[in-house]
Amino acid sequence: MSAQKPERKSTKPAEESSETEGIIRAFHALAVVVLGLALGFFVYSSTANDTSRFPFKLGLDLAGGSHLVYQADVSDIRPEEVPELMQVLKEVIERRVNIFGVSEPIVQVETSSFVTDETEHRLVVELPGVTDVEEAVAEIGRTPLLEFKLVDQSVLAGQQAQEQLEASASGTGAQIGNVRVNDQAVATGTDAAYIDTGLTGRYLNRAELQFGQGSGGLSNEPIVAIEFNDEGADLFEEITRENVGESLAIFLDGELMSAPTINEPIAGGSAIIQGNFSPDEARDLVQNLNFGALPVPIELESTQTIGASLGANILERGITAGAIGLSLVLVFMLLWYRLPGVVASLALLIYTLAMLALFKLIPVTLTAAGLAGFILSVGMAVDANVLVFERMKEEYRNGATSREAARNGFTRAWPAIRDGNFTSIISAVILFWFGTSLVKGFALVFGMGVLVSMISALLVTRTLLLSLPVTQQKEGTVTAKLTDSGLQR
Amino acid sequence: MFVAKYTKELLVAAALIFVIAGGVVGVLGLPLGIDFTGGALTEVTYSERPEKSSVESALPREQLGEFSLRQTESDTGRSGYILRTRDLTEDERIGIDEILTTAGTDGSVDRYTSIGPVIGQELMRKAMWAIGGVALIIVLYVAFAFRGVSWPVSSWKYGLITIVALIHDVLVPTAVFSVLGVLLGAEADVLFVMALLAILGYSVNDTIVVFDRVRENLVQWRQEKKEKKDTGEETITYILTKPFDEIVGTSVQQTLARSINTSLTTLLAITALYIFGGDVTQNFALMLMAGVIAGTYSSLCIANPLLIYLGRNAGETST
């Protein structure tokens, strides 16, 4: 009792103040119930209504679809340019994927973190609903890789000489080996004969289909005229200026198209690609180039497809499991903890609704693992309640009134709740860092679950608990018995 | 008092569990799925499943190298096979799909996963780091949270005990998984690692619940004794008014209901997931079940006997 309260005042003000207290308490309790109903309404209406703005967002393994991971080869790129190029890559692929008409495709850059030896740069493409991954891969594969390389004449000459020798020796059974030109061994492989200039499709502005005016020969041959952006134009001018008389080879998707001789430095950034194209080929190439050329070569590293019916089935089972799990926990709480158990059950229901609402609002992409995490968190959500109730029971059996017991229960149980949940959150954070998108989904749900359950215990359980009628164990009334929990000692 | 009376027996039992579980994992091994080794997994279902031998003979053995074909019953009522191979290029995949779907009636490829070896190795490394990281942080946190009662058992010893409990909580489900691997052909994948990390984070809750009560009781049942040393400094030593064993034993008894109930509710939810959830998460659920049970057991019957053992010889008691 506070020392400031005057001892023997008339009882009326004291009663009134406890009445006001009571009204405030009832108001709080009512507010909580109304909140619960509001959440329930929101979740229900936005789920039942197909055109709602807040549907559940389903991950690939529930909705069905494809998940592709491409590895980008950044070995030829300066490190500081890599992030920018990855963004360009993302945009180029995104444009391609969008013509596919997939609803909500996801194209993301993923960089693997510090624990591996080398940093890997990847592009993750998720196509919900696309189960025939062949087409998707083929379409993405159509993105052209354009490279300009200088010809190393001496190496090329050496290679050609070797080929001629081998050709003339082929009928005779003699073997050609150890060919040396100018006392140097001939380097093998197409790469050796060509020197990278750094001028690639990333500097491309646009491409246009033209028909050649025919320099010495075929006229009306379809050619592809390309235009570089400013940076590219500068680079192009530099290369042509420094290498007059040399050949500049143009590679498309790793294949040599042509190697025209540089007659003079070319400013303005226009160039022509000719390679005996048919009109259709040239048109395709122009279209593909205009969608964007790859800034770096990419390779398909992993694929995952889930059929839609399988996904729907997993979702259905997950929901069933969740509903049953929730019911089991509710029943247990009611049987063991009786009156406080009713409070805990309400808190649990509100917790579930709050989580579902958050899933919709944030939104959180639900996966099979995420559903599992949610069900796990439902089982864990009552933990805080259990800790408080057990404490409360002790105090109650030691003679405290139910309200005092409740208050003390909360205060005394809080350190355990805090420490226990903290470690769970640590787990969730590390899982989030560790994971692929699948694991991230689980970690997010798990972590959210812990936080929301703490809040619901503090907010809902405490409020409702404190608004329960005040009894004491020794009174032995029905209410008193109902406030006690567990088995009689 | 149960814990206090049977400290020795419980410690022996704990050691036994460690040996058995460790043995199971060592002997049976942990089968690694393609998430770690790289490779491709194709799940094909039919309305009428063809004979295994006919499917096997239809596959291009030379080109494919080693592969394994496993029977499966899909959730949707169709039956089929899961084909595990090295990771396939697009063209190879298309070819294999063709062979598989035409091998039986109404065949369709329901699920396909292909993981390159680099990603697989990376995942393995990340998994180790993640598990190690979580364990480390938890131990540090426990040592920190219990710094106020570093007597008669120093707070870092609380952390040490937590590690032992954690190892147990991870070892037992892993052993269960090894058995599953032999019986059902289960393979460790990302979900497996997820289950381990979830168990780590969750099971230490239980241990903390009891330690928390021990902490409270220690404060309640100790007396301060201030001594002035010759140097003029004041030192504070503590005397327990109850033997340490009894304090721990009583703490366990007081928190028994809490520990069991919190684990029970979680177990109820996970069991529902195991029985009614899809087969994607079934092994995951089973591991979590094992983990929750192991976690409860370790908090009550491993962590506390250890605590008693460590604290037994430290400190004076007076009645």
Q: What is the pLDDT of residues B72-96, one digit of tens each?
A: 776 666 788 888 888 777 778 888 8
Which chain B positions have a beta carbon within 8 Å of A372's beta carbon? 273, 277, 281, 284-285
Q: Which residues contact A413 (CB under 8 A, 6 or more apart)?
A: A384, A387, A388, A390, A391
Terminal C-alpha separation, chain B? 18
Query: For residue A264, what is the DSSP state?
Result: S
Whether A7 shows a pLDDT value over 50: the answer reads no
- Cβ-Cβ contacts under 8 Å between A and B: the total is 220
CA distance between the termini of chain A: 32
Indicate the residue of A305, A318, A336 with minimum beta-carbon distance to B278. Answer: A318
A335 pLDDT higher than 50: yes
Q: How confident is the model over A144-174, as pLDDT tens digits?
A: 788 888 887 777 777 777 778 777 777 677 7
CA distance A449 to A428: 10
Q: Exposed e or buried b for every residue in B9-43, given b needs 16+ CB within 10 A? A: ebbeebeebbeebeebbeebebbbbbbbbbbbbbb
- The overall average pLDDT reported for chain B is 80
Does A301 contact B at CB distance below 8 Å? Answer: yes
Separation of alpha carbons B279 and A3, rounded Å:
64
Q: What is the mean pLDDT of chain A?
A: 77
A9 or A207: which carries more pLDDT confidence? A207
Per-residue model confidence as pLDDT tens digits over B189-248 = 888 888 888 888 777 777 877 787 888 888 787 777 777 667 766 666 777 777 777 888
| CB neighbour list of residue B154: distance below 8 Å, 6 or more residues apart | none
Whole-angstrom Cα distance, residue A192 to residue A189? 6
Cβ contact, residue pair B145, A419, below 8 Å: yes
B-chain residues near A302 (CB < 8 A)? 87, 113-116, 119
Does A112 score more than 70 pLDDT? no
| Closest chain B residue by Cα to residue A378 | B269
Question: Which two tokens mark A90?
Answer: 């993302």
Longest CA pairwise span in chain B (Å): 94
Q: What is the pLDDT of residue A198?
A: 76
Closest partner CB to A379 (pick from B75, B145, B269): B269
Work out the average pLDDT over A215-238: 76
User: CB B281 to CB A372 under 8 A?
Assistant: yes
CB-based contact A313 B262, cutoff 8 Å: no
CA–CA dist B33, A133 (Å, integer): 23
For B90, the closest chain A residue by CA position comes to: A134
Q: Between B244-276 and B282-298, two packed helices, what is the crossing angle to 10 degrees?
A: 170
Please name the residue that has the structure tokens 């995952």: A304
Helix/strand/coil for A60? helix
Could you give phi then psi for residue A459, rounded to 5 degrees? -75, -60
Mean pLDDT, rounded, for A83-96: 81
Burial environment of residue B185 by CB neighbours within 10 A (0 to 12, 13 to 18, 19 or more): middle
Q: ∠ CA(A401), CA(A404), CA(A405), 5° rounding?
A: 80
pLDDT for B62: 76
Question: Bigger pLDDT: B276 or A12?
Answer: B276
Residue B87 to residue A372, Cβ atoms within 8 A: no
| Residue in chain A nearest B117 by alpha carbon | A301
The answer to whether the CB of A346 falls within 8 A of the CB of A34 is no
B92 touches chain A (CB under 8 A): no
Instruction: For tokens 């008193």, name the residue.
Output: A480
Reported as a pLDDT band with limits 50, 70 and 90, residue A414 is: confident
The band of A13, judged by pLDDT with boundaries at 50, 70 and 90, is very low
Q: Does B144 touch chain A (CB under 8 A)?
A: no
pTM given for the model: 0.74
Residues from chain B contacting residue A383 (CB–CB below 8 Å):
205, 262, 265-266
What's the full length of chain B, in residues?
319
Assign B234 to helix, strand or coil: strand
Residues of A numbered 416-435 whose beta carbons fall under 8 angstroms of chain B's beta carbons: which are they?
Answer: 416, 419-428, 430-431, 433-435
Distance CA B155, CA A392 (A): 28
Nearest to B272 among A304, A324, A423 (CB): A324
* Chain B neighbors of A393, CB-CB under 8 A: 257
Interchain contact, B280 vs A314, CB within 8 Å: yes
Looking at residue B2, its pLDDT comes to: 65
**Angle, CA B285 vertex, CA A454 and CA A321 arms, to 5°:** 75
Lookup: tokens for A412: 């005394």
Chain A closest CA to B8's CA: distance in Å? 28
Inform me whether the C-beta atom of residue B75 falls under 8 Å from chain A C-beta atoms. yes
Q: List CB contacts of A304: < 8 A, sequence separation 6 or more.
A: A60, A66, A67, A68, B112, B113, B114
Between CA B191 and CA B284 the distance in angstroms is 6
Closest Cβ opposite residue A313 in set B275, B276, B278: B278
Which residues of chain A does B284 touch, with a Cβ-Cβ cutoff of 8 Å? 369, 372
CA-nearest of A484, A465, A464 to A474 is A484
**Residue A42 is encoded by which pair of tokens?**
């929101």
- What pLDDT digit, counting tens, does each position of A389-401 carry? 888 888 888 877 7
Q: Which one is predicted more confidently, A269 or A446?
A: A446
Distance in angstroms (rounded) separating the CA atoms of residues B89 and B191: 25
For residue A304, the chain B residues in CB contact (below 8 A) are: 112-114
Q: Which residues of B touch A396 (CB under 8 A)?
A: none
Distance CA B202, CA B275 (A): 21
- Name the residue among A115, A309, A329 with its Cβ closest to that of B76: A309
Residue B285 clears pLDDT 50, i.e. is over it: yes
Query: Does residue B284 sit at the A interface (CB-CB below 8 Å)?
Result: yes
pLDDT category, A427, cuts 50, 70, 90? confident
Whether the predicted pLDDT of A250 surpasses 70 = yes
Q: Is the predicted pLDDT of residue A214 greater than 60, yes or no?
A: no
Query: β-pairing, A298-306 with B108-115?
Result: antiparallel
Express as a percent the part of chain A with pLDDT over 70.
Answer: 82
Closest B-chain CA to A113: B126
Q: Would you call B126 and A318 a contact, using CB atoms and an 8 Å cutoff? A: no
Within 8 A of B288 by CB-CB distance, chain A residues are 376
CA distance B99 to B64: 13
The answer to whether B194 contacts chain A (CB < 8 Å) is yes
Q: Cβ B75–A310 below 8 Å, yes or no?
A: yes
Which is higher by pLDDT, A358 or B202? A358
Identify the CA nearest to A200 among candidates A293, A121, A291: A293
Question: How much is the pLDDT for A257?
Answer: 74
- Residue A201's closest CA among A171, A174, A236? A236
Q: Which residue has the tokens 């147990």?
A: B168
According to DSSP, the β-strands at A121-128 and A106-111 are antiparallel
Residue A3 has pLDDT above 70, yes or no: no
pLDDT tens digits for range A23-57: 888 888 888 888 888 888 888 887 777 666 777 77
The string of pLDDT tens digits covering residues B153-172 is: 777 778 888 888 888 988 99
* Token couple for B155: 């707070």
> How far lies A74's CA from each of A68, A115, A134, A487, in Å?
19, 19, 26, 67
- Helix, strand or coil for residue A383? helix
Radius of gyration of chain A (CA): 36
Kindly tell me the sign of the dihedral angle through the C-alpha atoms of A26, A28, A33, A34: positive
Structure-block tokens of residue B132: 């190690």
pLDDT tens, residue by residue, B15-48: 888 899 888 888 888 888 877 888 888 888 888 8
| Residue A389 C-beta-side C-alpha neighbours within 13 Å | 31
- From the list B198, B261, B280, the residue facing A368 with the nearest CB is B280
| Nearest by Cα to A343 from A194, A217, A198, A469 | A469
3-state secondary structure of B1: coil
Residues 6 or more apart from B278 whose CB is under 8 A from it?
Answer: A313, A314, A317, A318, A368, B75
DSSP H helices in chain B: 2-5, 7-28, 34-37, 52-58, 61-64, 90-103, 117-145, 155-184, 190-220, 244-276, 282-298, 304-312
Encode burial over A474-484: b for 16+ CB neighbours within 10 A, e otherwise.
Answer: eeeeeebebbb
Examine the pLDDT at A220 and tell me if it is beyond 80. Answer: no
**DSSP secondary structure string for all residues of B161-208:** HHHHHHHHHHHHHHHHHHHHHHHH---B-HHHHHHHHHHHHHHHHHHH
Q: What is the chain B residue with the closest CA to A325? A: B269
> Pairing between strand A121-128 and B79-85?
unpaired
Give the closest of A332, A372, A446 to B265, CB-based. A332
Residue A420 has pLDDT above 60, yes or no: yes
Q: What is the 3-state secondary structure (H, E, C) of A157-212?
A: HHHHHHHHHHHHHCCCCCCCCCCEECCEECCCCHHHHEEEEEEEHHHEEEEEEEEC
Q: Is A303 on the interface with B (CB under 8 A)?
A: yes
**A379 interfacial to chain B (CB closer than 8 Å):** yes
Q: Do A439 and B194 touch (CB under 8 A)?
A: yes
Q: What is the mean pLDDT of residues A275-283?
A: 78
User: Considering only residues 124 to 143 of chain A, which have any Cβ-Cβ distance to chain B shorter than 8 Å?
Assistant: 133-134, 137-138
| Residue B93 contacts A, CB cutoff 8 Å | yes
Give the pLDDT confidence score for residue B316 in this predicted structure: 45
Quick one: pLDDT at residue A85? 78
In the predicted structure, residue A489 carries a pLDDT above the cut 50: no
Q: Is B116 in Cβ contact with A71 (below 8 Å)?
A: yes
Residue A277 is predicted with a pLDDT of 75
Residue closest to A62 by CA, chosen among A350, A380, A374, A353: A374
Least confident interval from A17-21, A219-223, A332-336, B313-317: B313-317
- What is the C-alpha to C-alpha distance for residues B126 and B112, in angstroms, rounded to an integer? 24
- Please tell me the predicted confidence (pLDDT) of residue B76: 63
Count, residues in chain A: 489
Buried b (16+ CB within 10 A) or exposed e, A367-379: bbbbbbbbbbbbb
- pLDDT band at residue A4, thresholds of 50, 70 and 90? very low
Note whether A221 contacts B: Cβ–Cβ < 8 A.
no
H/E run at residue B33: none
